C-alpha cells in the first residue's frame, strides 16, 4: 500500500498526497482491498476550505506514529465531501444515527463492506476537553475489530436500519397552506430580531429557509416574514461575515452579531445570497443591497473565474493562520489612509486593540452613506491586501453550485439592470453543458482542469434544469427550454425511484454501499428533490403541461406522510405555493419594458414566458391563441389569463403585493 492521492484531481485530496498515511481514493478498488485484507476502513471526509480539517491533518495525518497505526490496522480512505456529497451524506447520516453531532472533518470506521459501525468528527492529538486523542480512538477501534465482532455487528445493523429509514419516502397528502403557515410561524419564533438570523451562535445564513420566508411574505401577506429576510440581509451585509474590501460572504459567523466570520468563502452561499439580494431590492430598492450584489459579482468574476465557470471556494487560512489575509491593525490602516483614517473610522469600527484576537475585522454597522468618498479608501486597502499571501482556492468546478450561480445572475441581471450578468450566466451555463454534459443527457458533478472527477447527482441535474429555465425566462430563447427538457429526461431515466420521488445517486452508481438516499432536507443548499418539485411546477406554468403538474403533485406527496419533518424542507414547501399560486406572465410582441418589469418582480412565484415574434404557445397553455404580434402582457393564474396589460406599472399592480405594501 501507498498514498495514492497524488493521482486525484481534487484540491482537497491533493492537500494530503504527502501524508505518511497510505490514503486510498473512495471506490470499488479501495473496498476490494479492505475485503482482501479483512481490515476496517478508516474514512476521513473533509473539504479544501475546512479549517479543522487542516488542523487535524497537521496534528495527526502528518505524524509518522499516527500514520503507522492507521497503515497497519486500517485501510485509510480520504473523501472530498464537495466532490462526493453522496458519500458524505450517507456517512453523516450514519454519524447522526449514533447520536453524535455532525461536522467536518468527519471520521468514520467502516467494515470492509463499507458498513459504518462508529463515527466522530475532529479528534485532537492528545486527550483534552473531554475528548480522547486520535491515537486512543484508533487503538480502541483496532481492538474492537480484533476482539468484539459481535458488538460491531450490532452497531452496523442498527446504523444500516437507520440509513434505510432515513432514505425511505413517506407518502401522504401534499403540503397544504396550513402546513406552510405552521412552519413559517415556527421559523419566525426562532428569529433573532436584533441581529437577524436564528438566535444563538454560530450563525449561518440558512438561505433556503429565508427564501421560503420571502415567498411566504407574498403568499400569506406576512410582514414579519419579509422583515426577517431583510433584517438578515442587512446585518450580514454590514457585519464582518461580509468582505468589505473584496466582496463576497463567508460561510458563517462564530458570534451572534455576524462580526467574526469563519473566513472561508463558498460559491453556493454567495449565489444564494445574490439571489436574495435581488429579490429584496426588487421589492424595496436599497443601495446597500445593490452595492453588495455588484461587489459580490465583482468577487466572482475577479477571484473565482475558472475554466469558463466558477471555482468552488476560497480557504479560511493563509500562512497557517485563519483569517490572516483579511484582518488589519489600526496602525496598518492609518499608514495607508493617513488623514482619511478618522473619516474611515466613522463608518468602519477601528478599535485600537482590535475586535478579534487583537486584530480588526472590518464591519460597517451604520447607515450606508458617503460612498463616493469611502470607495477610493477601500480601494487603497484592497490594493495593499493584494500583495499578501492569498488563502488557497479550491478551483474544481461543481455543476450544481455553478447552476445556482447562473440562476442568481439571471435574476440579478434584470433587477439591477446589468445585461452583462445575463451574458455571463449564459456563458457559464454553456461551459458546464459542453464540458460536463454526458452523451446520455446527464450532467457530471465535478471537473478540474478539464477532467471529470465525479459522476452527476440529482442536485446537478435539478440545479442545471432550474438554471436552464431561468435562462429561458430571461431570454425567450426556445433552445434553453429544449436543453431543460433534455436534462429532465435524463433525470427521470436515471434518478427516479418509481414512486414519484428521486434518489440522490444514479441507478448505475457502482460505489454506493448503503440504501440510496432521497435528499428532501435542505441544508446550506437546496435539496435535489425540492428543486425538482419547483422545476415541475415551473414547467407546468411555462408549458401548460398537465403531466408536469401531476409529477409535481406526486413529488410533493411523496414526503407528506411525515409532516413533522417538512420544516427541514423549505424549498419543497415553497414549491407547493409555486405550483398552486404562480402567476405566469406571458409577454407578446417586442415589449422589452414589459419583459423587464416581469423579470424584475420580487415575488419568487412568478414565471415569465416571452413569446417570440411569429411564435405560438403550446395548445395546453392558458394563453394559447393570444396574438403574438401585440405588445402586451397577460397574467395567467389557475388556468385563466387577464386582459392584456400594456404598461410596466399596470403589470406590477396586478401581482401579489408583498408584505411592505399591505
What range does the domain containing 379 cover? 326-387
- Are 152 and 219 contained in the same domain? no
Same domain for 541 and 404: yes
Q: Within a domain: residue 173?
A: no
Q: Is 84 domain-assigned?
A: yes
Distances (CA, A) of 100 to 95, 97, 151, 260: 6, 7, 18, 26
Give the three cell numbers for residue 619: 395548445
Q: Specify the pLDDT at position 660.
A: 65
The whole-number pLDDT of residue 629 equals 83
Residue 174 inside a domain? The answer is no
All three cell numbers of 217, joined, read 411574505
571 lies in the same domain as 606: no
Contact yes or no for 426/468 (Cβ under 8 A): no
Please tell me the distance from the alpha carbon of residue 565 to that of residue 359, in angstroms, as a whole number: 43
Query: Are residue 381 and residue 470 in the same domain, yes or no?
Result: no
Residue 172 domain flag:
no
Q: Could you read off the pLDDT of 10-34 as tens digits, one per residue?
A: 999 999 999 999 999 999 899 999 9
183 found inside a domain: no
179 located within any domain = no
For residue 647, how far is the Cα from the chain centroid? 37
Domain boundary among 551, 580, 609: 580
**Are both 427 and 449 inside the same structural domain?**
yes
**Do residues 463 and 487 make contact, with C-beta atoms less than 8 angstroms apart?**
no
Q: Do 588 and 576 reside in the same domain of the chain?
A: no
What's the mean pLDDT when you consider all of the chain?
Answer: 95
Give the CATH number of the domain where residue 85 resides.
3.40.30.10
DSSP 29-53: HHHHHHHHHT--EEEEEE-TT-HHH
pLDDT of residue 611: 87
Name the phi and psi angles at 374, rounded to 5: -75, -35
DSSP annotation string for 340-407: GHHHHHTTS---TT-SBTTBB-----S-S--HHHHHHHHHHHHHHHTTSPPPPEE--EEHHHHHHHHH
For residues 272 and 381, membership in a common domain is answered with no
Out of 167, 202, 235, pick the residue that ends a domain.
167
> Do 485 and 436 sit in the same domain of this protein?
yes
Residue 152 belongs to a domain:
yes
Stretches where the chain sits below pLDDT 50 are 662
Considering 367, 387, 407, which residue would you say is the last residue of a domain?
A: 387
Per the structure, the count of domains in the chain is 4
Tell me: do 603 and 544 sit in the same domain: no
Q: Note the pLDDT of residue 662.
A: 42
* DSSP assignments along 108-165, one per residue: EEE-TTS-EEEEES---SS-BTTB--HHHHHHHHHHHHHH-HHHHHHHHHHHHHHHHH
Mapping DSSP to helix (H, G, I), strand (E, B) and coil, where does residue 471 land? helix
Q: Based on the fold, state whether residues 114 and 21 are members of the same structural domain.
A: yes
Q: Could you tell me if residue 289 is inside a domain?
A: yes
Residue environment code for 558-596, b if the CB has 16+ CB neighbours within 10 A, otherwise e: bbbeebeebbbbbbbbbbbbbbbbbbbbbbbbebeebbe
Are 307 and 334 in a shared domain?
Answer: no
- What is the CATH classification number for the domain harbouring 306? 1.50.10.10
526 and 470, same domain (yes or no): yes
Q: Residue 8: what pLDDT?
A: 95
Please check whether residue 22 is in contact with residue 3, taking contact to mean a CB–CB distance below 8 angstroms. yes
The C-alpha cell that represents 526 in the structure block: 437546496
Amino acid at each position: 500500500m501507498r498514498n495514492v492521492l497524488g493521482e486525484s484531481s481534487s484540491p482537497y485530496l491533493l492537500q494530503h498526497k504527502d501524508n505518511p498515511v497510505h490514503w486510498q481514493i473512495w471506490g470499488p478498488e479501495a473496498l476490494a482491498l479492505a475485503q482482501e485484507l479483512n481490515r476496517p476502513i478508516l474514512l476521513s471526509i473533509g473539504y479544501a476550505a475546512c479549517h479543522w480539517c487542516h488542523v487535524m491533518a497537521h496534528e495527526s495525518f502528518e505524524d509518522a506514529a499516527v500514520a503507522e497505526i492507521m497503515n497497519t490496522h486500517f485501510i485509510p480512505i480520504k473523501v472530498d465531501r464537495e466532490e462526493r456529497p453522496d458519500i458524505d451524506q450517507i456517512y453523516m447520516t450514519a454519524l447522526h444515527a449514533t447520536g453524535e453531532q455532525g461536522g467536518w472533518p468527519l471520521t468514520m470506521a467502516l467494515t470492509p463492506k463499507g458498513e459504518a459501525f462508529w463515527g466522530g468528527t475532529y479528534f485532537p492529538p492528545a486527550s483534552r476537553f473531554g475528548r480522547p486523542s486520535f491515537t486512543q480512538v484508533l487503538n480502541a477501534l483496532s481492538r474492537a475489530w480484533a476482539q468484539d465482532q459481535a458488538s460491531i455487528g450490532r452497531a452496523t445493523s442498527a446504523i444500516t436500519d437507520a440509513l434505510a429509514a432515513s432514505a425511505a419516502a413517506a407518502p401522504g397528502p401534499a403540503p397544504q397552506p396550513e402546513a406552510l403557515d405552521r412552519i413559517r410561524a415556527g421559523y419566525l419564533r426562532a428569529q433573532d430580531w436584533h441581529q437577524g438570523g436564528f438566535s444563538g451562535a454560530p450563525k449561518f445564513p440558512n438561505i433556503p429557509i429565508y427564501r421560503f420566508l420571502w415567498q411566504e411574505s407574498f403568499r400569506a401577506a406576512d410582514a414579519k416574514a419579509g422583515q426577517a429576510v431583510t433584517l438578515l440581509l442587512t446585518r450580514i451585509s454590514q457585519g464582518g461575515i461580509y468582505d468589505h474590501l473584496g466582496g463576497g460572504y463567508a460561510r458563517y459567523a462564530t458570534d451572534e452579531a455576524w462580526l467574526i466570520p469563519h473566513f472561508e468563502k463558498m460559491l453556493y452561499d454567495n449565489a444564494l445570497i445574490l439571489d436574495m439580494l435581488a429579490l429584496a431590492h426588487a421589492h424595496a430598492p436599497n443601495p446597500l443591497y445593490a452595492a453588495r450584489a455588484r461587489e459580490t459579482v465583482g468577487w466572482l468574476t475577479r477571484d473565482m473565474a475558472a475554466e469558463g465557470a466558477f471555482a468552488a471556494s476560497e480557504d479560511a487560512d493563509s500562512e497557517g493562520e485563519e483569517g490572516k489575509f483579511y484582518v488589519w491593525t489600526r496602525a496598518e490602516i492609518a499608514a495607508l489612509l493617513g488623514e482619511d483614517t478618522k473619516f474611515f473610522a466613522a463608518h468602519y469600527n477601528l478599535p485600537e486593540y482590535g475586535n478579534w484576537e487583537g486584530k480588526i475585522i472590518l464591519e460597517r454597522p451604520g447607515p450606508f452613506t458617503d460612498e463616493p468618498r469611502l470607495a477610493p479608501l477601500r480601494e487603497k486597502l484592497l490594493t495593499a491586501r493584494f500583495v499578501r499571501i492569498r488563502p488557497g482556492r479550491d478551483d474544481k468546478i461543481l455543476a450544481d453550485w455553478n447552476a445556482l450561480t447562473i440562476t442568481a445572475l439571471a435574476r440579478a441581471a434584470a433587477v439591477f439592470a446589468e445585461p452583462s450578468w445575463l451574458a455571463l450566466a449564459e456563458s457559464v451555463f454553456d461551459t458546464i453543458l459542453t464540458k460536463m454534459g454526458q452523451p446520455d443527457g446527464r450532467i457530471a458533478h465535478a471537473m478540474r482542469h478539464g477532467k471529470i472527477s465525479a459522476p452527476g447527482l440529482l442536485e446537478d441535474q435539478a440545479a442545471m434544469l432550474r438554471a436552464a429555465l431561468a435562462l429561458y425566462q430571461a431570454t425567450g430563447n426556445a433552445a434553453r427550454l429544449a436543453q431543460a427538457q433534455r436534462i429532465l429526461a435524463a433525470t427521470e431515466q436515471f434518478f427516479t425511484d418509481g414512486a414519484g420521488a428521486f434518489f440522490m445517486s444514479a441507478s448505475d452508481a457502482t460505489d454506493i454501499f448503503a440504501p440510496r438516499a432521497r435528499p428532501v432536507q435542505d441544508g446550506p443548499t437546496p435539496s435535489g428533490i425540492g428543486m425538482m418539485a419547483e422545476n415541475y411546477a415551473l414547467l407546468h406554468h411555462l408549458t401548460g403541461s398537465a403531466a408536469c403538474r401531476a409529477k409535481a403533485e406526486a413529488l410533493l406527496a411523496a414526503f407528506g406522510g411525515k409532516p413533522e419533518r417538512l420544516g427541514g424542507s423549505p424549498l419543497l414547501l415553497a414549491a407547493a405555493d409555486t405550483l398552486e399560486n404562480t402567476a405566469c406572465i406571458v409577454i407578446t410582441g417586442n415589449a422589452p419594458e414589459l419583459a423587464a418589469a416581469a423579470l424584475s418582480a420580487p415575488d419568487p412565484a412568478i414565471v415569465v414566458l416571452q413569446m417570440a415574434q411569429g411564435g405560438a404557445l403550446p395548445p395546453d397553455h392558458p394563453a394559447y391563441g393570444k396574438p403574438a404580434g401585440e405588445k402586451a402582457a397577460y397574467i395567467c393564474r389557475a388556468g385563466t389569463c387577464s386582459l392584456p396589460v400594456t404598461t410596466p406599472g399596470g403589470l406590477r399592480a396586478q401581482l401579489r403585493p408583498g408584505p411592505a405594501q399591505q
